[in-house]
Structure 1
């Protein structure tokens, strides 16, 4: 097949000189890092904060032999030794409100230099930060709350109310929880971002529709107050699953695997099994924060685990 393809290419370019082909300069740029689609009457814009660099995935995905983690990635044509995961925030424009879900790493470089792109992605998508009415936080980890303020401490979304679980606010702003180097870094960054908005912070409850068409669904384990969200408009809906899973293969095909940054790994596994089963059985679309861009698709049951099926990108609104 390779020889046939090469022959076909050669025949097609027979009259074009190599010097003519070489004149085209390489552009070294990608498409803007946003993607837009509709759910009912709501317009959804996925806006990337870039990448979170985890390094050797066998150090972060736990509970099974390291060789099993590497084999599963290799079998799925993924790098078994160096992992970058996406940071997929999104904006819901519905009911006269602009609602941003999660704010990325912000100024933190704890997970490498590839994050912190959210402000640029929003601008590229034609969304002004001052037009954001609400910021919804899935949980208090550094890669979800890191962009609430800028380097100087000024609010990135000056007109927005902020919504999150009280359990996560209390835990990740508590200096008594600094019992490991990574938790210390998370809490310092959480205090920097969450304390300046304490006066505009609203705590939601499980199964509460706290904004029109947006309902909180408690999904504890990864953190005490980790929350998923059902986004609904005109009879259509999808679930933002946050960090129920950090990877579209690991933790999905083997949902009993654990993740390094889980507050309660056993509870995280229990929650993951429950939520993946519910979403697969009811064929509900999902948006995942850390899956390959733009992270929108479905879960289906597969053997003892599940499988993620990404939805085709629809470029015609």
Structure 2
């Protein structure tokens, strides 16, 4: 089975792929865990849906189907959730990424409902930190009137990520099927030009929040280590994006990686890092609510939910 990526993305971005995405999913879910004297809450922005070989076109269909079937997963579709992380400690309420908004896919953009359900107003969010600027993480920045949804927040993104997506030449350097996404992300980032803080990877950007360089998926992708008392949690973004494929085969190229070879190196390094430290994880596209750990076995790694 094959699919033309330009045709598929054009259809989804025009919201014309309703039959692919299905219906009836809950628009909201929230799970909260303590972290030191604060808390971490997983908020659902919805989910996405793609044919597996759209995401892993370099892997033979029969190989990919066999892995998915072994884990009792459908072989005709992947439906990754979109799990946002809300970290509350003291006077800070920090949100990592802002979801896809109303102009990305019909099955994403549920964050406003999630916030309503926990009685948190957008104005209560003090800080927003972006893992990277792909649409499902960024496009919820603006409301339907092109105003900032989180009007009172401080914003943070890595300098390499900002430079890549705001560069006028980026749209000419990405794949044809990614050009519309690049234009949309550039426009949204430019709305933050006078109020965003740029940081360098491998630095502490707020007290207790350390940015790890997990580039490859995008040039400035970062994952964030939260430290509160003796508790730790790593907000992964898309650095580890599938609970079985990424952990068992980090060497398999992922279609949405800007630099596939570097992303493979990053995944291998990151899996070794988090498994050796037995670090708690929060994954944007890992099974809802996204909390778990990576464990190493004789031949690979596995994701263990918590």
TM-score over 0.5 (shorter chain): yes
Report deviation, 1:59: 2.2
1:148-190 deviation line (CA, Å, top 9, x unaligned): 1112210110011110111111211233222433321222221
Distance 2:93 2:136 in 1: 21
Q: Assess if the C-alpha contact under 8 Å between 2:27 and 2:44 holds in 1.
A: no
1:64-103 alignment runs, 5 A limit = 64-103=59-98
| Aligned twin of 1:7 | none
Distance 1:31 1:245 in 2: 24
Q: Assess if the C-alpha contact under 8 Å between 2:30 and 2:41 holds in 1.
A: yes
Report SS of the residue matched to 2:245.
coil
Q: Assess if the C-alpha contact under 8 Å between 1:95 and 1:212 holds in 2.
A: no
Query: Is 2:107 the counterpart of 1:114?
Result: yes
Query: Is 2:126 the counterpart of 1:143?
Result: no
1:179-218 alignment runs, 5 A limit = 179=172, 180-218=175-213
| Aligned twin of 2:20 | none
Report SS of the residue matched to 2:147.
coil
- Structure with higher Rg: it is 1
Deviates more, 1:271-280 or 1:162-171: 162-171
Distance 2:207 2:119 in 1: 23
Query: Is 2:37 the counterpart of 1:41?
Result: yes
Q: Assess if the C-alpha contact under 8 Å between 1:244 and 1:272 holds in 2.
A: yes
Distance 1:261 1:43 in 2: 31
Q: TM-score, normalised by structure 2?
A: 0.88
Report SS of the residue matched to 1:252.
helix
Deviates more, 1:283-292 or 1:190-199: 190-199
Distance 1:138 1:29 in 2: 26
Report SS of the residue matched to 2:197.
strand
- Structure 1, unpaired ranges of 5+: 1-27, 312-317
Query: Is 2:147 the counterpart of 1:134?
Result: no
Shift in CA distance, 151/175, structure 1 to aligned 2, threshold 3 Å: farther
Report deviation, 1:64: 2.6
| Aligned twin of 2:152 | 159
Q: TM-score, normalised by structure 1?
A: 0.85
1:84-109 deviation line (CA, Å, top 9, x unaligned): 11110111111311100011111233
Report deviation, 1:62: 4.0
- Structure 2, unpaired ranges of 5+: 1-23
Q: Please, what is the CA RMSD of the aligned residues?
A: 1.5
| Aligned twin of 1:18 | none
Distance 1:29 1:271 in 2: 33
| Aligned twin of 2:292 | 297
1:255-294 alignment runs, 5 A limit = 255-294=250-289
Report deviation, 1:80: 0.9
